[in-house]
Chains A and B, each alone.
Chain A
Amino acid sequence: MIQMYNVTKTYSSGVEALRGINLGIKKGEFVYLVGPSGAGKTTLMRLIYRDELPTSGHVVIDGRNIERLHESRVPYLRRSVGVVFQDFRLIETKTVFNNVAFALRVVGAPSDEVNEKTHRVLEMLGLKHKANLYPSQISAGEKQRVCIARALVNDPAILVTDEPTGNLDPELATDIMRILMEINNRGTTVLMATHNMGLVEQFARRIVHLVAGKVISDQEKVPRSAD
């Protein structure tokens, strides 16, 4: 599903964010991306939804080489990659419902389908009663769930989450993790960048460890029966 071949990324400022990354993630896998701040986790994720291009090497997403992807085809790649941000990035002037529905309207889904799918995903994430509120009227945990709902509503093949529990208290963080696990169990490939080693141990999955732009370890873990 995701393949990276000898990928390096150097920003115009001269900062070398990634160095010689080789990574393969299969369909339906759940992978943690761990490492200290500045290790290159966010850059690696931005390559997946083609917010950045590699300086050298190749990134192949669901069979598409992102460097060769024409600018006009980028939106179509992004529709198959759901993205969840630590800072939520919700549109403040739209209601919860419209923030989520927007991702469907973008792909030209008919109104009936937009209503049905949006209500379904909001219900799944326990947000149905918040549908008509604006982001400023809901809590951080709810905002994170709205962000997940928006990423999921299009049934993406890949879900990329950058510190999705970073702003949340431990209880809410566990809730979000359960949701992500459930999404993964339904077949979506999930890549999650995190600092929270407690959660990584609690919900054990494959762990890719990045330090200074390099993969220093890649461990397979068997899911614990408790989760």
Chain B
Amino acid sequence: MSLFESLSFHLREALDGIKHSKVMAVATITSIALSLFVLGAFLLFLKNANLFLSRLHDQYKLVVYIKDQADTDSVTQLKRRFEGDPAVESVVYIPKEDALKLVLADLGEKDWIVKTLEKNPLPDSFELKINERADVADLVRRLQSDRAVSRVSSGQEWVAAILRAVLLVRYVGFALVFVLGFTSLLIVGNTIWVTVYARRDEVAIMRLVGATNWFVRTPFLVEGLLTGVVGAVLSFVLLVVGYRLLLGQLQTVAPGLSGFAGWPELKRLGGQLVMMGGVLGFLGSLVSLRRLSV
């Protein structure tokens, strides 16, 4: 038997298996679809929470004001220090002249307030974008002890809280995805076990006519893979429909809300779900076959 013949034979056997045990195939597909729907819904929530928190984080900057009497050397040294600090993602130097221009632009017609002043009251400063994992309080403490620094504006307390929330959502998210994935594997594994158990006589006959273990296993594994992928596609369709409905409702309640995960993110999630479905179905079959000593 050539490789192509062998593949097409196992595929036909798998489709035959599905055709002849429709009830169990539907049960497996449903259990995979439901498990992945829950997992997918959670991943989508996580994605949106991350998008929201990332936007807040992007807007956050730490401003370090330089003392008027600080010399060029200490300012250059400070800049180098920022560039080498793992807590700092990026650094922009804003000379007092540029700061003034910004203030004037902000004030618009009321710029006379500043123009009446004899000299520029604003100091030179650095705007720092902080790494998500950085300890902001520690960084501020370290900066305040620098000779060239007059003041550090670390923003409100809630900004640090957001950074903590970003990390928390990610860690808790990973843990929950792992737990949900494992639970799905157990549910799917048990459903497939029932399917294989119902066909144990068939398995025994296959072995009696001289089928090797892998020859017996392959159609079941292909069947698991196919039902897994079909279940995943079904869960994705349900998820997209549910998500659209939910967004529609949200737009009615709060019309200004935007920035939710869109089609590109959904497509990526769809790909992930199909992969997970395939792996779940395949592993579920493999574990069930092992439990039945096939």
- List, in ascending order, chain B residues with CB within 8 A of A150's CB: 209
Q: Complex Cα distance A106/B209, Å?
A: 8
Q: How far is the CB of B1 from chain A (nearest CB, A)?
A: 4
B108 touches A (CB below 8 Å): no
Could you jot down 23 A-B contacts, CB within 8 Å? A49-B208, A72-B213, A75-B211, A75-B212, A75-B213, A76-B210, A77-B210, A78-B208, A78-B209, A79-B209, A79-B210, A89-B205, A91-B202, A93-B20, A94-B16, A102-B209, A105-B1, A106-B206, A106-B211, A106-B212, A108-B6, A110-B1, A111-B5
- Given A51-B208, A102-B209, A103-B209, A110 and B201 contact (CB-CB distance below 8 Å): no
Known contacts: A75-B207, A78-B210, A150-B209. The answer to whether A93 contacts B5 by CB under 8 A is no
Q: Which residues of B contact A106 (CB under 8 A)?
A: 206, 209-212, 215
Interface residues of A (CB under 8 A from B): 49, 51, 72, 75-79, 83, 89-91, 93-94, 102-103, 105-111, 150, 154
Closest to B17 in A: A93
A109 to B5, CA, bound (A): 10
The smallest beta-carbon distance between B47 and chain A, in angstroms, is 43
B5 near A75: Cβ-Cβ < 8 Å: no
- As a 0/1 sequence over residues 182 to 220 of chain B, the CB contacts with chain A under 8 angstroms (1 = contact) are 000000000000000000011011111111110100000
Q: How many residues of B contact A (CB 8 A)?
A: 21
Cα separation A89 to B208 with both chains bound (whole Å): 10
B1-31 interface code vs A (CB 8 A; 1 in, 0 out): 1100110010000001100100000000000
CB distance from B173 to the nearest CB of A (A): 44
Q: How far is the CA of A89 from the CA of B209 in the complex (A)?
A: 11
Residues of A within 8 A of B205 (CB): 89-91
A74 to B16, CA, bound (A): 27
Chain A: CB-nearest residue to B5: A111
